[in-house]
Amino acid sequence: MEIYNVTHYSQLDGADETVLVLGYFDGLHRGHKALFDKAREIAQKEQFKIVVLTFHESPQLAFAKFHPDLLNHLTYPEKRYEKFAEYGVDRLYLTDFTTAFSHISSDDFIKQFIKGLNAKAVVVGFDYKFGHNRTNSDYLARNFDGAVYTIPQVSEDGSKISSTRIRKLIADGQVAQANKLLGYPFSTRGIVVHGDARGRTIGFPTANLAPIDRTFLPADGVYVTKVRVAGKLYDAMTSVGKNVTFGGTELRLEAHLFDFSEDIYGETIEIIWLDKIREMIKFSGIDELVLQLEKDREFTLNWKKNSQKS
């Protein structure tokens, strides 16, 4: 897949006939995947290239009062690109959603961007809006001389699968349900840094992470995870939150990897969140903490066995 960063529609490459998929696509969840399934079907039939025009950051930054979560994502950029490629995208165009971009009329968007990418077919979601006029796919179908495909809502448990819903699940610690809606496991990357080294003294050494991406973290608690180190996956349990038992006041992200004893300081690793074990608890002392950690490890191992059976 080719990736282009563009600042003006004149930079678009219209050499090939394309099927164009439009949207923001934070997380590329199952609802988004339905658009790309349709795009692949069209591309294979018509011999079109699959092209996406989307944004580096949330369009909400141009409209809403700022709060830090507006800069966070469900997936880090490299993983987002990986999913686009997996879904069949040939060329990905990324631009900034600025005030100037928001002032482009629907007609100019069609003329400059959609036709600029030589789109012969366009695929959008049922709730897609575009242009300063905030027009929908019906308007697009009436004013664009190619085919327009509007993909209906994709639901789970009677409710729409959306990035907003997935973010809420993650914020509530319901990572297993979030993964179900994403269609793949939610993850976090970080550099392994030095911590208090307390874990190794009680038989549960941990890799302490400094997150390197603007991705959401799940709610405070202890989780069943997998950890990717140098391309290899290890079973693990991971805690996120303040180390309240020892009077901690800063957010910590610590992973205990099973069957792993190497020093990996400075390496970038990935935490893959699978399920929540429990809330963060303040223990009366080290003995009570160790007893609970042993229970957590047993829970994680049983979770792995049960998932393998299913």
- In this prediction, residue 222 carries a pLDDT of 96
Q: Is pLDDT at 247 greater than 90 in this prediction?
A: no
Whether the CB-CB separation of 10 and 95 falls below 8 Å is answered with no
Whether the CB-CB separation of 40 and 88 falls below 8 Å is answered with yes
Q: What is the pLDDT of residues 80-117, one digit of tens each?
A: 999 999 999 999 999 999 999 999 999 999 999 999 99
- In this prediction, residue 195 carries a pLDDT of 77
- In this prediction, residue 251 carries a pLDDT of 82
Q: Of all residues in the chain, what percent carry a pLDDT higher than 90?
A: 78
**If you average pLDDT over residues 249-273, what whole number do you get?**
90
Name the more confident of 64 and 123.
Answer: 123
Which part of the chain is CATH 2.40.30.30?
185-309
Q: Is pLDDT at 16 greater than 60 in this prediction?
A: yes
Query: What CATH topology corresponds to 185-309?
Result: Elongation Factor Tu (Ef-tu); domain 3 (2.40.30)
Q: Predicted confidence band at 296 (pLDDT cuts at 50, 70, 90)?
A: very high
Which part of the chain is CATH 3.40.50.620?
2-160
Distance in angstroms (rounded) separating the CA atoms of residues 57 and 36: 20
CA distances from 91 to 4, 257, 258 (A): 8, 38, 40
- In this prediction, residue 280 carries a pLDDT of 87
Distance in angstroms (rounded) separating the CA atoms of residues 104 and 130: 9
Name the more confident of 212 and 244.
Answer: 212
Strand partners for 4:
93
- The residue with tokens 């006029």 is 133
DSSP per-residue letters across the chain: -EEEE-SSGGG---SS-EEEEES--SS--HHHHHHHHHHHHHHHHHTPEEEEEEESS-GGGGTSPP-GGGG-BSS-HHHHHHHHHHTT-SEEEEE---HHHHT--HHHHIIIIITTTTEEEEEEETT--BTTTTB-HHHHHHH-SSEEEEEPP-EETTEE--HHHHHHHHHTT-HHHHHHHHTS--EEEEEEE-----GGGGT---EEEEE-S-B--PPSEEEEEEEEETTEEEEEEEEEEE-GGGT--SEEEEEEETT-----TT-EEEEEEEEEEE-----SSHHHHHHHHHHHHHHHHHHHHHHHH-
Name the more confident of 31 and 200.
Answer: 31
* Tokens read off for 242: 């303040």
Whether the CB-CB separation of 50 and 89 falls below 8 Å is answered with yes
Mean of the per-residue pLDDT values for the chain?
91
Distance in angstroms (rounded) separating the CA atoms of residues 295 and 297: 5
Q: Predicted confidence band at 72 (pLDDT cuts at 50, 70, 90)?
A: very high
Q: How many CB atoms lie within 10 A of CB 302?
A: 11
Query: Taking the domain 2-160, which CATH number applies?
Result: 3.40.50.620
- In this prediction, residue 282 carries a pLDDT of 78
